[in-house]
């Protein structure tokens, strides 16, 4: 496969001083904040958006369309960065994201909003993979931990600030400003990155884009997400629609693998999966996305419906988890840069993630905010240990010439895990909630038929009689507990994966990458991992 050969015309990575790295990262931080903040800032505005534009049946697609587009676009952006250079592709993704944001704010119906959110997602996919690929290009793996720790600290800011800003904007301004607020931040990021990324290599100059692979990737991802979104809700699992989508997923995935094996410049070079550590890190990234994002997405349901928090305050109540994540991310990055050891972090993170999710599964209608805050600290610590370390391991075991594609593949797996986690656990939540309401006699008798499960909002819940309110709160608790129980089970699988990760010394730019050998790339990758695995595994 030609993509495994070194590109003779590819420029060597420039050497950046610490000051130059920090200046460059200022623009990257803003861009990453945009991508992460957008999904969080829109969530509190969704009820108002539906009330204004209508189309309740399309509500889920406002989020799903964004996630799906960004997930499918991530490996494509990563490969384009390898071919055309990080700077031009990264700046292009910012522009697309800003255009999508402006159009979302101008939407006149739910159909337009879903379509423009998908356009936004296309740009967001480039932002997320672009940030990590640029950091990988300007900072050697041996020093990358402390810088990626700073990047990962953006996530808590987005997850706390997003719901707060979204709730405030919705309460005091128009919901459209939840999208327009991206524009000034995006312009700043665009200007900063325009100048700070000028020293980056311009890529190979070869633009043979694997459009067939990109199309097949989009098809099987879309079909798979539709199965998890529609199965058991819109359609029975045994329906012709779900079975047809399952067949399409399998056929498109098989064709995708076949095309990627033969493509000159594959969107997702399969050779990187010949490395054991890269594959394990990717699998752990998928687990992290599934368990963490799939579980945490439904925590505000408990906070608002059971604990009585407002949309704005529910974001603020996530602060213990985010602060814990930030502290562990920064501390872990510093430790990795100082010692070069990292193997203990994914193991400890997986344990903390499983324990945190398990604790959330024990909540009942009487669980206080103080108790949930303590649970959040545990779960956040797991996030901090895992998020940056899995990416660092993946990048350390990928050749520099494929760094964008490898980063895109790792990010893709995490996003795909999040997409499937939200879809599957969302189905679990909805089914459990509905069954619980039915098993407790329903709410119609106590509410005079004025409310139903599908139309329930925190405001409507407050107007219900006490008996009906208790039935629904118990049902929400049952649904959330089921979600976190399954999340904890999946997290235990992540722990098993983490135990098999070997310690491969972090390299500098002058050291060959794990996949840079020309002979038998896949075998050479495993040989290096096995050799390095003979080193003490305590790190």
pLDDT at residue 222 in the model: 83
Is the distance from CB of 411 to CB of 525 less than 8 angstroms?
A: no
- Flag whether pLDDT at 213 surpasses 80: yes
- Flag whether pLDDT at 96 surpasses 90: yes
pLDDT at residue 360 in the model: 92
276 versus 419: the higher-pLDDT residue is 276
Claim: this prediction has a pTM higher than 0.85: no
In the numeric block, which tokens belong to residue 359?
A: 């604790």
pLDDT at residue 466 in the model: 83
- Flag whether pLDDT at 484 surpasses 80: yes
Distance of alpha carbon 191 from alpha carbon 91, whole angstroms: 9
Q: Compute the CA torsion angle 392, 395, 400, 402 (nearest 10 deg).
A: -150
What is the average pLDDT across 141-148?
A: 66
What is the average pLDDT across 472-496?
A: 90
Give residue 68's pLDDT band: very low, low, confident or very high (50, 70, 90): confident
pLDDT at residue 363 in the model: 92
Please report, for residues 334, 503, 507, 532, the alpha-carbon distance to residue 536 in angstroms, rounded to integers and kept in the order given: 20, 8, 17, 9
pLDDT at residue 520 in the model: 39
Cα torsion angle, 322, 324, 325, 330, sign: positive
Please return the burial class of 321, using the count of CB atoms within 10 Å of its CB with bins 0-12, 13-18 and 19+.
buried
In the numeric block, which tokens belong to residue 239?
A: 């329906």
Helices (H), 85-153: 86-105, 110-138, 141-152
Give residue 2's pLDDT band: very low, low, confident or very high (50, 70, 90): very low
Give residue 537's pLDDT band: very low, low, confident or very high (50, 70, 90): very low
- Flag whether pLDDT at 448 surpasses 60: no
Give residue 390's pLDDT band: very low, low, confident or very high (50, 70, 90): confident
What is the average pLDDT across 168-193?
A: 82
Q: Which long-range contacts (CB under 8 A, 24 or more apart) does 507-514 make?
A: 507/140, 507/141, 507/142, 507/396, 508/140, 508/141, 508/142, 509/13, 509/15, 509/140, 509/400, 513/397, 513/398, 513/399, 513/400, 514/275, 514/277, 514/278, 514/396, 514/397, 514/398, 514/399
In the numeric block, which tokens belong to residue 51?
A: 């009330």
Is the distance from CB of 315 to CB of 164 less than 8 angstroms?
A: yes
What is the average pLDDT across 50-72?
A: 71
For the stretch 359-376, pLDDT in tens is 999 998 888 888 998 998
51 versus 223: the higher-pLDDT residue is 223
270 versus 6: the higher-pLDDT residue is 270
316 versus 531: the higher-pLDDT residue is 316
Give residue 460's pLDDT band: very low, low, confident or very high (50, 70, 90): confident
- Flag whether pLDDT at 528 surpasses 50: no
Give residue 14's pLDDT band: very low, low, confident or very high (50, 70, 90): low
Domains and CATH numbers, the chain: 2-210+263-504 (1.20.1250.20)
pLDDT at residue 66 in the model: 81
User: Angle CA(435)–CA(437)–CA(440) in degrees, nearest 5?
Assistant: 105
Distance of alpha carbon 425 from alpha carbon 228, whole angstroms: 9
pLDDT at residue 205 in the model: 56
Mean pLDDT over each residue of the chain, to the nearest integer: 76
Is the distance from CB of 34 to CB of 185 less than 8 angstroms?
A: yes
- Flag whether pLDDT at 339 surpasses 50: yes
Rg (CA), the chain: 23
Q: Residue 231: beta bridge partners?
A: 235
- Flag whether pLDDT at 508 surpasses 60: no
pLDDT at residue 523 in the model: 38
What is the average pLDDT across 102-121?
A: 86
- Flag whether pLDDT at 122 surpasses 80: yes
Distance of alpha carbon 407 from alpha carbon 92, whole angstroms: 18
What is the average pLDDT across 149-172?
A: 70
pLDDT at residue 248 in the model: 94
- Flag whether pLDDT at 355 surpasses 90: yes
In the numeric block, which tokens belong to residue 240?
A: 């012709």
- The whole-angstrom distance between residue 141's C-alpha and the CA centroid of its chain comes to 22
Give residue 176's pLDDT band: very low, low, confident or very high (50, 70, 90): confident
518 versus 332: the higher-pLDDT residue is 332
Is the distance from CB of 39 to CB of 391 less than 8 angstroms?
A: no
pLDDT at residue 362 in the model: 92
Say what percent of the chain tops pLDDT 90.
12
What is the average pLDDT across 161-180?
A: 77
Candidate ranges 105-114, 148-157, 233-242, 252-261; pick with highest mean pLDDT: 252-261
Give the three-state DSSP class for 444. Answer: helix
* Helices 403-439 and 369-396, axial angle in degrees (round to 10): 150
- Flag whether pLDDT at 117 surpasses 80: yes
What is the average pLDDT across 15-20?
A: 73
Distance of alpha carbon 350 from alpha carbon 348, whole angstroms: 5
Give the three-state DSSP class for 180. Answer: helix
What is the average pLDDT across 476-490?
A: 90
- Flag whether pLDDT at 169 surpasses 80: no
Give the three-state DSSP class for 391. Answer: helix
- Flag whether pLDDT at 102 surpasses 80: yes
pLDDT at residue 446 in the model: 45
């Amino acid at each position: 496969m030609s993509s495994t050969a070194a590109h003779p015309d590819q420029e060597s990575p420039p050497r950046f001083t610490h000051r130059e790295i920090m200046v460059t990262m200022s623009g990257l931080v803003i861009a990453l904040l945009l991508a992460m903040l957008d999904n969080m800032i829109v969530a509190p505005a969704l009820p108002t958006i539906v009330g204004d534009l209508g189309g309740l049946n399309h509500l889920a697609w406002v989020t799903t369309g964004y996630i799906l587009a960004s997930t499918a676009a991530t490996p494509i952006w990563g490969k384009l960065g390898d071919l055309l250079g990080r700077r031009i592709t990264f700046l292009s993704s910012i522009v697309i994201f800003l255009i999508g944001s402006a159009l979302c704010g101008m939407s006149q119906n739910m159909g337009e909003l879903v379509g423009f959110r998908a356009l936004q997602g296309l740009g967001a996919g480039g932002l997320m993979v672009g940030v990590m690929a640029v950091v990988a290009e300007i900072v050697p793996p041996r020093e990358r931990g402390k810088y990626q720790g700073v990047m990962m600290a953006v996530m808590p800011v987005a997850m706390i600030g997003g719901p707060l800003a979204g709730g405030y904007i919705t309460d005091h301004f128009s919901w459209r400003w939840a999208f327009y607020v991206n524009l000034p931040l995006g312009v700043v990021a665009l200007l900063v990155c325009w100048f700070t990324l000028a020293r980056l290599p311009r890529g190979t100059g070869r633009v043979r884009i694997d459009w067939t692979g990109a199309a097949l990737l989009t098809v099987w991802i879309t079909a798979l997400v539709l199965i998890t979104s529609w199965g058991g809700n819109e359609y029975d699992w045994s329906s012709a629609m779900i079975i047809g989508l399952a067949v399409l997923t399998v056929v498109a995935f098989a064709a995708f693998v076949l095309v990627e094996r033969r493509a000159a410049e594959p969107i997702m070079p399969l050779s990187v999966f010949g490395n054991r550590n890269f594959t394990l890190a990717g699998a752990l990234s998928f687990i992290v996305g599934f368990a963490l994002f799939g579980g945490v997405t439904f925590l505000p349901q408990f906070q608002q419906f059971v604990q009585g928090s407002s949309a704005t305050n529910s974001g603020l109540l996530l602060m213990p988890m985010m602060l814990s994540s930030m502290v562990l991310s920064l501390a872990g990055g510093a430790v990795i840069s100082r010692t070069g050891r990292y193997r203990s972090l994914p193991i400890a993170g997986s344990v903390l993630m499983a324990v945190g999710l398990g604790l959330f599964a024990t909540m009942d209608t009487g669980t206080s905010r103080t108790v949930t805050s303590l649970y959040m600290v545990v779960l956040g610590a797991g996030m901090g240990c895992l998020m940056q370390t899995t990416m660092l391991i993946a990048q350390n075991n990928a050749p520099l010439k494929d760094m964008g594609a490898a980063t895109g593949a790792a990010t893709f797996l995490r996003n795909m895990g999040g997409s499937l986690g939200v879809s599957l656990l969302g189905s679990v939540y909805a089914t459990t909630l509905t069954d619980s309401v039915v098993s407790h006699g329903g709410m119609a008798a106590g509410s005079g038929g004025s409310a139903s499960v599908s139309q329930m909002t925190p405001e409507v819940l407050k107007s219900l009689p006490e008996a009906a309110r208790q039935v629904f709160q118990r049902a929400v608790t049952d649904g959330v507990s089921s979600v976190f129980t399954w999340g904890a089970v999946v997290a235990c699988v992540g722990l098993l994966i983490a135990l098999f990760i070997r310690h491969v010394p972090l390299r500098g730019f002058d050291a060959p990458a794990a996949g840079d050998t020309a002979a038998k790339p896949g075998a050479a990758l495993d040989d290096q991992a096995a050799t390095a695995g003979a080193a003490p595994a305590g790190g």
